[in-house]
Amino acid sequence: MRPPASGLAEWLARVAYASVLRLGTPAYLWRVWSRGRVEPDYRLRWWERLGFYREDHRARLSESRAQGGPLVWVHAVSLGEARAASALVTALRQQAPGMRLLLTHGTATGREAGKALLRKDQGDLQTWLPYDTPGAVRRFLRMHKPDVGVLMETEVWPVLQHETLRAGVPMVLANARLSEKSLRQGLRLSVLLRPAVHALRAVLAQTESDAQRLRVMIDGASRPTLQVCGNVKFDMTPAPVLLSLGQGWRAASQPGLPARPIVLAASTREGEEAGLVQAWKDVALKSGQGDSEGVAVPRLWIVPRHPQRFEEVAALVQAQGLSLSRRSQWPGGLPDAKALGADVWLGDSMGEMPAYFAAARVALLGGSFAPLGGQNLIEAAACGCPIVMGPSTFNFAEAAELSEAAGAARRVGDWAQGVAEAMTWSASPAHAGSVDRCLAFAQAHRGAAERMARLILAELNPRGA
């Protein structure tokens, strides 16, 4: 079918893009299989990434359809998006109690975290997002027939958007954010990406700044509609059992006096840990703090963002001459005498980040000490953990500014300043007030999930499942 003359460039770009991806399918599958060496879940049901489904999945889908109710498809590519989706899914269920959830992911950590959102008795399903080729996407859509699709944060795919538009599946970009860097990249590829954005029904932005950048990408088109709804990550409620676990770790880590507070390096990224460990040796371990004042040097707890880097970070710490204890090796889940004697703890578990924040007096924000844009600091605030952040926070620019203004976070220029600030803050008599300010900051910005759920459900496709 020939495209209209006005859309020829977009059509050619999409055809070229799809052709390249088709040719690259073997390389894509090899990459997935290779990552499975470290994270075995990458090899789980790999054929679903190409839109092929075995009989057991078809049977679950048939059982799901028998439940009735609309099928709401939510794509949460990785761990952060899956965590954010939890608040949105809760709000969707409250407003549409009979809905069925189709949850898709692109990473193993996202898929593992997403399992907690599923209700099998309500007909929920989980699978991989199809590879962005026409065949894989069409097979996925023909199989599942979602009534509405929700893409979390930044996930816009040219073929996926084109095929959902053809299939009549309304698509919403929820909790949408767009940095200046991403906007520049998107404009360079506008012939490919702008039609994908125009195929959306609605874009629900986190902030007005995000909305302004998204308007540039939309470029005056009548679709999609654009609204600022806030950030659903403020609606994430830490599980009480995890907060209790973290408080237990804190108590177990200081069995005697003087108390030894925990400084958490949360969600560190590749290239950051070397600077952190060196700064810790130079600032914390050489400070001698506590020798005369009865206050112990804080304990460093590193939690890498990606589980495939656990071994790498452990080796780096030990290569620097520091002793290490790993969370996964604690007998009974609590630090033993050997752990209490270690210089550094490694958080090598999944799904326990609220517990890590609950254990810490102060957290250093990973991803912000390298030019990576920072990680989610809202979860730390919701757990009552003050944050020391580095200079790079463009992924959460408004949240970073608001948290700093609220007294829940402080900004520094590098790891040395960060370690020194964390040590000072953790020992300060004003720390308790900082905890209160963190909780108040997190509470003040709630409500985005309810707003987004209402707008998503308004787009429900009336054709049914």
How close are the terminal C-alpha atoms of the chain, in Å? 28
CA-nearest of 350, 211, 343 to 277 is 343
What whole-number distance in Å separates Cα of residue 206 and Cα of residue 285? Answer: 40
Gap between the Cα atoms of 258 and 124, Å rounded = 51
- Work out whether strand 100-105 and strand 148-152 pair parallel, antiparallel, or are unpaired: unpaired
Instruction: Please report the beta strands in 393-441, taking only residues with DSSP state E, as ranges in sequence order.
Output: 409-411
Q: How far is the C-alpha of 349 from the C-alpha of 340, rounded, in Å?
A: 18
Q: Is 81 a catalytic residue?
A: yes
Q: Residue 234's closest CA among 132, 61, 88?
A: 88
Instruction: Tell me the C-alpha to C-alpha distance, in Å, between residue 59 and each of 62, 63, 64, 111, 143.
Output: 5, 6, 9, 20, 11
Q: Which pair of structure tokens corresponds to residue 283?
A: 């600032």
Alpha-carbon dihedral angle through residues 282, 283, 285, 291, given to the nearest 10 degrees: 140
Closest CA to 314 of 342, 343, 346: 346
- Point out the catalytic residue in the list 10, 81, 112, 273: 81
Locate tokens 């952040």: which residue?
A: 389
Nearest to 283 by CA among 421, 392, 388: 421
- For residues 298 and 412, give the distance between their C-alpha atoms in angstroms, rounded to a whole number: 19
Beta bridge partners of 207: none
The single residue listed with the structure tokens 């770009």 is: 13
The answer for 121, left when phi > 0, alpha when psi is -120 to 50, beta otherwise, is alpha
Tokens of 123: 């007909």
431-444 vs 415-427: helix crossing angle, rounded to 10: 110
Residues annotated catalytic, as ranges = 81
